[in-house]
Structure 1
Amino acid sequence: MGRILIEKDIEAAVKGGSVYAAGGGGWADHGRMLGRAAVNAGQPELVSIDELSDDDWIATAAAIGAPASTTPWEMWGIDYVKAVQLLQRELGAPLAGLMVGQNGKSSTLNAWLPGAILGTKVIDAVGDIRAHPTGDMGSIGMAGSPEQMIQTAVGGNRAENRYIELVTRGATARISPILRTAADQSGGFIASCRNPLRASYVREHAALGGISLALKLGEAIIAAEAKGGHAVIDAICKTTGGEILAEGVITDKSVNYTPEAFDIGTITIGKGDSVNVLHVMNEYMAVDGPDGARRATFPSVITTLSPEGEPLSVGDLHEGMRVFVLHVAKEIIPLSSSVRDATVYPPVEAAMGIEIARYALA
């Protein structure tokens, strides 16, 4: 049986999703808006993939952003719904459910509002348990596929006449950049629905149970909050199976925004024999220790927490701030086929100037 998502699940989804955001952006308040809109509009239902027939259609509900965009983004809840409607119209068939490309501050809730209004199930599956910089990393094996896919995008700043509705069809690698351009043109953040696939394919290639993991983590965080920061951090470690890899004061932040809409650089914690360097591409992708030895690498979860146990985005960090670094090893989380796909790593390695694939695929 499915689980009807209700008011109390919103904060759990946002808080659990914020840990799995792995330092990435997204907006917690946008997640709360989506959740409140959904539970007020209807009864979004979270279901396991096993509740669907093999030939049911599932697509990915996503928000696409150029995170440091200087133009004012504006995205309404109805934009997520319209994106689904446009995809269904182009597909010529109804979607049975929606999954999301990754967990995050708002992305954990991306499928709730269309679920409440259109009746599409919220599938307990994600393209990646944690957040990642490129769409390919959450595309459950479609990144290099020549198969024709449908992708839609809806949203934009209405006052500046930036509102866009887009339907595009083609190989995933060719049409995903079109949606990124649309996000930039719309004001920096746009709702999308993409890559309709059969449930049998999703069952084999997605990270199953990803939404439940975020909800369970959020519930544990909420239960621990009254006892203070140490209790929250303990609860996060216990619930995820993770550990605190490092703690200390930030001694250097060198992160720059690129024309390709990525934040790339390093965060240095501590110095000398206790130094740890976090490598950033929107999210934390790797941690190197004092001798330059690799201590953690994507797709493991890497997250910075404040002493109060609050997950901090890269943009929240500054020199002099004390942080804890959470590490949840990839061996203990469900992995999708996209993070096991060697073709998704070269662009990220080229942009960051470090090795990822050798560790990620080991």
Structure 2
Amino acid sequence: MRILNHDDVLAALTGGSIYASGGGGFYEHGLAMGHAAITINKVKLVSLDELNDDDIVVTAAAIGAPAGTTDWEMTGRDYIKAAQLLIDHYDGKVVGFMAGQNGKSSSTNGWLPAAALDLVVVDALGDIRAHPSGKFGNMGLTSDEHYQTIEAASGGKRETGSHIELVITGKPEKTSEVLRKASDLSGGFFASARNPLTVEFLKKNSVVGGYTLAIELGEAVLKAQPDGPEAVLDAILNQTNGEVVGTGKVIENNVKYSEEGTYDIGHIKVQAARGSVLTAYAANEFMALDKDGKRVGNYPDVITIFDKATLKPLTTSEISVGQEVIVFKIDRSNFPLSAGVYEKANYPEIEEALGIDIYDHVFDKQ
């Protein structure tokens, strides 16, 4: 067991911002929620091996489009309320919370409900990197004909009448769609708790140790920051075995919020060295990367765009035409994958929204 502290909040979100792949929530929101958790109680991070195989763990997640293009409100009590609603309607004992992904705020998603309810944070994730829908973080449950989930959510501005609280049961494929639509109605972003699962299941299907990977990456970045951006980039490359795909100037950013799919959809183009053009396709997060029309990066690879001057990982809304950036990738072979990556049923709506193939490139190297 590890008692997380304020330094761990900063490290988790610094590393999570790189794994965010252009999305993953809001850094300042993650800081606020993480520090709040540490303040109200001890936040206990435990490994799966410290729990019994039949112990139940719940995923805490934020749902919606994270680029800051909608009028959302999600407070700390929303994370706690969603967790409490699930526990109140679930016929079983929950021992802790995990996150569906790393990200700019999602790396601390499970901390506040765990602290408030005196439970633990479990060192496992539904996905090492951020992704556009809960289906990708469901660890292979989307197509499971037998698993019936329970999901709860809370969020939205009360003063405008957009606040929503709900509890839903059913197949994850359907409940994920309902919660995404409800998120749109609440203002575009709200807190959820979902998928009570056994530790035995998580050992086989989750990204085991995913929180620790983000914290360790964040620690390496923070240690290098006093020495400047070049030192930070070297630290990231060394810690992740990632690569710089290209450096150049942004020439297009057409990412916009789509109410039909409740995603931030579009692409960002970068004029790189020797006339090459890099195109990063975003559905909330970067899901594919082309170089002169050839696919060079594809989910579940981590695809991150940094501001060149500061080495700050950028969300899609923070990227401006004319900005000098570094396009970075961590190949999928360099980190653990969850079972959700392999589910073909997760991909069609994202492929349709972006107008490109993604799934066919997922395991083209195997």
Q: So what's the TM-score if we normalise by structure 1?
A: 0.95
Please state whether the residue corresponding to 1:334 is helix, strand or coil: coil
Shift of 1:42: 0.5
Shift of 1:279: 1.6
Q: Do residues 43 (structure 1) and 42 (structure 2) align? A: yes
Matches within 5 A, 1:1-362: 2-24=1-23, 26-67=25-66, 72-146=71-145, 147-259=147-259, 260-270=261-271, 273-290=275-292, 292-307=293-308, 308-362=310-364
Which range moves more in the overlay, 14-23 or 78-87?
Answer: 78-87
Conserved? CA contact 2:65–2:257, under 8 Å: no
CA distance in 2, matches of 1:352, 1:35: 33
CA distance in 2, matches of 1:345, 1:70: 24
**Gaps in structure 1 of 5+ consecutive residues:** none
CA distance in 2, matches of 1:265, 1:79: 30
CA distance in 1, matches of 2:232, 2:156: 37
Shift of 1:26: 1.1
Shift of 1:68: 6.1
Which range moves more in the overlay, 68-77 or 299-308?
Answer: 68-77
Please state whether the residue corresponding to 1:203 is helix, strand or coil: helix
CA distance in 1, matches of 2:283, 2:69: 19
Conserved? CA contact 2:61–2:106, under 8 Å: yes
CA-to-aligned-CA distance 1:114-150 (integer Å, 9 cap, x gap): 1112122111111111111121111101111232110
One-letter identity of the residue aligned with 1:197: L
Aligned length: 360
Q: 1:263 to 1:110 in 2, by over 3 A?
A: same
CA distance in 1, matches of 2:221, 2:14: 7
CA distance in 2, matches of 1:325, 1:69: 21
Conserved? CA contact 1:68–1:261, under 8 Å: no
One-letter identity of the residue aligned with 2:164: I
Q: 1:25 to 1:213 in 2, by over 3 A?
A: closer
Shift of 1:164: 2.2
CA distance in 1, matches of 2:26, 2:83: 21
Q: 1:255 to 1:70 in 2, by over 3 A?
A: closer
One-letter identity of the residue aligned with 1:330: R
Please state whether the residue corresponding to 2:17 is helix, strand or coil: helix
CA distance in 1, matches of 2:183, 2:256: 20
Aligned-pair identity in percent equals: 44
CA distance in 2, matches of 1:217, 1:258: 33
Shift of 1:312: 0.7
Q: 1:265 to 1:70 in 2, by over 3 A?
A: closer
Conserved? CA contact 1:69–1:188, under 8 Å: no
Q: 1:273 to 1:71 in 2, by over 3 A?
A: closer
Shift of 1:78: 1.7
Conserved? CA contact 1:281–1:352, under 8 Å: yes
Q: 1:109 to 1:200 in 2, by over 3 A?
A: same
Conserved? CA contact 1:52–1:199, under 8 Å: yes
Conserved? CA contact 2:78–2:155, under 8 Å: yes
Shift of 1:233: 1.0
Q: So what's the TM-score if we normalise by structure 2?
A: 0.94
